[in-house]
Structure 1
Amino acid sequence: MKYVFPENFWWGSASSALQSEGEGYYTSRGETTWDHWFARQPHRFHQEIGPQDTSQFYRYWQEDIQLLKQLNHNSFRTSLSWARLIPDGIGEVNPEAVTFYNQVINELIEQGITPFITLFHFDMPMAMQEIGGWENREVVDAYARYAKICFELFGDRVLHWFTFNEPIVPVEGGYLYDFHYPNVVDFRRAATVAYHTVLAHAKAVQAFRAGHYAGEIGIVLNLTPSYPRSQNPEDQKAAHHADLLFNRSFLDPVLRGKYPADLVELLKDYDQLPKCQEEDSGTIAEGKIDLLGINYYQPRRVKYRDSIVNPLMPFMPEWLFDNYEMPGRKMNPYRGWEIYEPGIYDILVNLRDNYGNPRCFISENGMGVENEQRFIENGQINDQYRIDFISGHLKWLHKGISEGCNCLGYHMWTFIDNWSWCNAYKNRYGFVQLDLATQKRTIKKSGEWFAITAFNNGFNEE
């Protein structure tokens, strides 16, 4: 079977500033929430490895861009660091940061690699967090200013902008489940953070439209299809609630310009609605995007709760559903995530049938594996499992495109083994192996496979 993708398909990978830049960390940029948290609780991070220990893109950017070219990338997504560009979040622009990002953008273009640039990838400047982070509307306005500065500085060359990467994750991690700073567990505050993030996104889109910049603007959402345990109406309702909270809370505002009415009703029923201002609905309506990035890693399987909620416990999403472990599911045992390739197809069909078939692309898809040195053969990691993972997802992506879904590309997470939040380097995701001690880069078997696939705009499979 031959899988050929549309002409001008985007082949590439994704990364982020905080997870790759490293060098120049404290000298040329402000403190982020991650620096602050790591300095105070290093034990929360795998092997106590913090964000200063990365693949040092700040130093090795030229070498790394050559590797991207070698892997036949025609596009590459990374982020700008708000704390590097404007160290206190609201003040003067750092000229060193402007020079660095100009060099990176120019070199990517010089090598025939289209830059896709994200404005915010989890790395809140600590100065902004100290006044409340996304709970504070002043931070929303500061972010809108930062976005406008980025458009002015780089918008003549960057033609694909993304306001946020996975905005639901700081909501879940920072305000529900305690795996991001500020480690709050409070649904109402989480709802406020989510709401203000949508407002920040919309204000950045407004600034982009007002400036008449070239190119397009979008957002990157991690979409996790919610599958009910059964066709039982209660299981179906549980899946609907999970979908409302974790997918449609961002998907509907950015594609339809408004929230789902049943999400608003649900939060009202439980007295969890954030405070709104009269002009907010107009702002959100103007935040509709040109391009949707889709990060897909795993499905969400849910069922009706087996037990009654204790009304004295604080409200949490799990009041509305229980997670369901489907028997016989295929797993990535290192990450604890289910591998379900048809999910990527289901996302695209949902967008086609229910959201007007927006322009979109797979902005992340990846497989993290622990202790990959086990698989070294003749000096190279033989990660056939990653090739199988990618090709399995690409087949379902191809099916969606052949049925009219408007998907324009596929980006893998990630180019080179990178620092990954509290997991640090526990699981490796890269096409390129990183020796953290020596900074030596070695292309894995999956990198070679991807280079051939990108060159051929597809692949053959028996």
Structure 2
Amino acid sequence: MSMLTRRRLLSRAALSATAGATGAGLRVGGTAATAAVSGGLATGCDAGTDPDTDPTGGPRGDLRFPTGFGWGAATSAYQVEGATKEDGRGESVWDTFSRTPGRTRNGDTGDIAADHYHRYADDLDLMRDLGLRSYRFSISWPRIQPDGTGTPNQRGLDFYRRLVDGLHERGISPMATLFHWDLPQTLQDAGGWENRDTAYRFAEYAEVLFRGLGDRVPVWLTINEPKTVVQNGYLHGHHAPGFQDPQAAYLVAHHLQLAHGLAVETLRATDSTARIGPALNLHPCYPADDSAEAASASHLYDGYENRLYLDSILKGSYPADVLADLGPGSRMARGIRDGDLKTISAPIDLLAVQYYTPYYLTATGDTVTRWPTSQADWQQIYPDGMYDILTRVTRDYGPIPLTVTENGLPQADTLSPDGTVDDSGRISFLRDHMAAAHRAVTDGVPLESYHVWSLLDNFEWAEGYDQRWGLVYVDYATQRRVPKRSALWYREVIRANGL
């Protein structure tokens, strides 16, 4: 790997990171950007207005989604559960990382988080009252297998059984993610995702859950955002395990993809009728100008952001331009064995798409900001990117069923003296992205469901508790839940099945 490639990978990780990686000097402020992107891919857009809806009330337009559309919300285990030392749960890499001084904002950890482990029944009632039809959550691997292998921890399995049963009792469909970044620390001590063996341990863990929870879980998601583990955990280093090693990073990418494929094969070997697929954060990549150099740079960037994961799962091959950029001697290239890509591309039933931001590439391969940014200044607010990425997946990879499993933004939400939380900016964001998703459905995208990130304010990884992404406000001192204005608006969207 050349020094140029190494610098580009580190730069790419920094720009994709979720801890203020886009410099404040590039922010566009509160108005729509005036620069247009060549080729008609992007146009001026004001995310704050829409004549078809009223941000202070309910839906007023006529954008109706297909009958039975799965309106939902999402969380992840380490971000909401807490109870990190209870009922036999083992240590995870995020326990280690967040307890290491200087790793997270304010030294925050997920030790308590939103205390969902103890308050899940009340949270299930909240979901019912909001009218959710689907709940996408993750299962804590160290809660099931404290050391990442061996006999399952029955108390951990029982918690998720109670959660799944509670969802069914309230008419909410469970969608369970097997891995949302909380790798058992014992496996990390043995090499983590750099160790090929971890992929096989993951398949064993998956089988425990497939047999332990059975068809009570109709949809399984394998790996959540492998790209984020690669870029933020192994390139930039501000997520667990906190490394900055480009050679290791893309070997990790391969082993995460292999783990996904092995889990799919494991489910097929059971008698389960459940569906399965991965959860990928996909970001459209556009040239920042109409030069051939910018087009070339955006194509390669897209290779690292999207095609590295999509092509291997849906086409059975890694993109040639990415492999060439990494070099034939890279640890990733040397780590690919005969049969791996056949396993990785085992047929899936659906693809989970998570959309947050676009990227714009200059002729020199640098990124620039075109649109207003949220409190997370890496996030450009561009709803048309939702349409572009959904239609692109269908166009390039065929009519595989899609679900949006994360879409949202953080705000500095505050609890008013009257006990309400006015987050009208979140309403505007969600409305505009839902409208873009509806346009994709109208144009033939087989989108089945949409999940807001997130149900609850929670531990936001390296940002600790400074960013609030939830539909429901959490007062961390008391663990009181307060539905925000966006939650009440979303309830009406679900009731109307549209905007």
Q: TM-score normalised to the size of structure 2? A: 0.85
CA gap 1:341/1:377 in 2 versus in 1, 3 angstroms: farther
Match of 2:209 in 1: 150
2:88 counterpart of 1:23: no
Kindly indicate whether residue 179 of structure 2 is the aligned counterpart of residue 137 of structure 1.
no
- Counterpart position of 1:219: 278
- Given the alignment of the two structures, is residue 424 of structure 1 paired with residue 464 of structure 2, yes or no? yes
Aligned mates of 1:103, 1:289 — CA distance in 2: 27
Q: In 1, distance between residues paired with 2:462 and 2:334?
A: 29
The aligned runs of 1:8-407 (5 Å cut-off) are 8-23=68-83, 25-41=85-101, 43-268=102-327, 271=330, 273-286=333-346, 288-305=347-364, 321-326=365-370, 329-370=371-412, 372-373=413-414, 376=416, 378-407=418-447
Aligned-pair identity in percent equals 36
Alpha-carbon spacing, 1:188–1:274, altered in 2? closer, same or farther (3 Å): farther
1:441 has 2:478 as partner: no
Matched residue type, 1:164: I
Contact 1:191 1:274 in 2 (8 A): no
Letter aligned with residue 408 of structure 1:
E
Q: Which moved more, 1:294-303 or 1:272-281?
A: 272-281
**Deviation string, structure 1 residues 117-147 (Cα, Å, up to 9, x no partner):** 0000010100000011111111111111001
Please name the residue that 1:312 is paired with: none
Q: Find the aligned partners of 1:330 and 1:130 in 2 and give their Cα distance.
A: 41
Q: Secondary structure at the match of 1:434?
A: strand
Output the CA distance in 2 between the equivalents of 1:68 and 1:20.
15
Q: Give the one of 440, 452, 455 matched to 1:412.
A: 452
Tell me the SS of whatever aligns to 2:482. strand
Q: Alpha-carbon deviation of 1:23?
A: 2.1
**Higher mean displacement: 253-262 or 183-192:** 253-262
Query: How far is 1:304 from its partner?
Result: 2.2
Distance 1:54 1:4, change over 3 A: same
Distance 1:303 1:270 in 2: 28
Give, in whole Å, the separation in 1 of the partners of 2:416 and 2:175.
32
Contact persistence 2:84–2:91 (CA under 8 A): no
Q: 1:349 to 1:442 in 2, by over 3 A?
A: same
Which one is further off, 204-213 or 17-26? 17-26
- The residue identity in structure 1 corresponding to 2:63 is Y
CA contact (8 A) 1:195 1:274 kept: no
Deviation at 1:267, TM superposition (A): 2.5
How many aligned positions are there? 438
Name the SS of the counterpart of 2:250 in structure 1.
Answer: helix
Alignment partners' CA distance in 2, 1:153 and 1:10: 25
Shift of 1:75: 0.3
Question: Does the CA contact (< 8 Å) of 1:82 and 1:119 recur in 2?
Answer: yes
Larger CA deviation: 189-198 vs 90-99: 90-99
Moved more, 334-343 or 440-449: 334-343
Structure with the higher strand share, 1 or 2: 1
Query: In the aligned structure 1, how far is the partner of 2:178 from the partner of 2:116?
Result: 17
Unaligned runs of 5+ in 1: 306-320
- Give 3-state SS (helix, strand or coil) of 1:115's partner: strand
What SS does the corresponding residue of 1:89 show, helix, strand or coil? coil
* Alpha-carbon shift at residue 26 of structure 1 (Å): 4.6
The alpha carbon displacement at 1:334 in A equals 4.7
Q: 1:311 — aligned with what?
A: none
Offset of residue 270 of structure 1: 7.6
Query: Cα distance, 1:187 vs. partner?
Result: 1.3
Q: Take 2:70 and 2:208, find their aligned partners in 1: how far apart are those partners?
A: 27
Whole-angstrom CA distance in 2 between matches of 1:22 and 1:111: 23
1:373-426 CA distance string (max 9 Å, x none): 1x7263100111111000011111111101111111110001111111111111
Distance 1:212 1:99, change over 3 A: same
Q: TM-score, normalised by structure 1?
A: 0.92
Structure 1 residues 189, 454: closer, same or farther in 2, change over 3 A? same
> Aligned with 1:337: secondary structure?
coil
Judge conservation of contact 1:352–1:358 (CA < 8 Å) in 2: yes
Any unmatched runs of 5+ in structure 2? Answer: 1-60
Equivalent pair of 2:457/2:468 in contact (CA under 8 Å): yes
Q: Runs ≥4 in structure 1, deviation > 3 angstroms? A: 24-27, 269-272, 333-336
SS at match of 1:236: helix
Counterpart secondary structure, 2:283: coil
CA apart distance, 1:285: 3.2
Counterpart position of 2:14: none
- TM-align CA RMSD: 1.5
Determine if contact 1:188/1:274 at 8 Å carries over to the other structure: no
The aligned counterpart of 1:3 is: 63
Structure 2 Cα separation of the partners of residues 350 and 334 of structure 1 = 26
Residue pair 2:99, 2:107 contacting (<8 A) in 1 also: no
- The alpha carbon displacement at 1:27 in A equals 4.7
